[in-house]
């Protein structure tokens, strides 16, 4: 049984994707390096990474949770 599925960001309503990206960018422990960035800058960066597919949105059907993962890490979970 498949546990993880990739969710193409194009299939989400814009407001839903914005909410997911804002939630992810504001999670505790999210580190963006030495320079502090605004929430909007973080969201813009995440959106760009989703568009160039270096970052994938995965949904875990067993736990009904989602996460953003680098493509290489996501590939391990999708196989």
Q: CATH number of the domain that 31 lies in?
A: 1.10.10.610
Structural domain total, the chain: 1
pLDDT recorded at residue 37: 83
Give the pLDDT of the chain (79 residues) as one tens digit per residue.
568 999 999 999 999 999 999 999 988 665 666 777 888 999 999 999 999 999 999 999 889 999 999 999 999 988 7
Q: What is the pTM of this model?
A: 0.84
pLDDT recorded at residue 32: 60
* DSSP H stretches of helix in the chain: 14-25, 39-51, 71-78
Residues 21, 45: Cα–Cα separation, whole Å:
10
Show the domain range for 17: 4-78
Residue 66 has what DSSP assignment? E
């Amino acid at each position: 049984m498949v546990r993880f599925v990739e969710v193409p960001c194009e299939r989400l309503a814009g407001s839903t994707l914005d909410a997911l990206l804002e939630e992810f960018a504001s999670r505790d422990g999210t580190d963006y390096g030495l320079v502090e960035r605004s929430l909007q800058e973080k969201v813009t960066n995440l959106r760009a990474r989703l568009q160039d597919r270096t970052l994938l949105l995965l949904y875990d059907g067993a736990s009904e949770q989602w996460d953003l993962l680098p493509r290489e890490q996501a590939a391990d979970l999708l196989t």
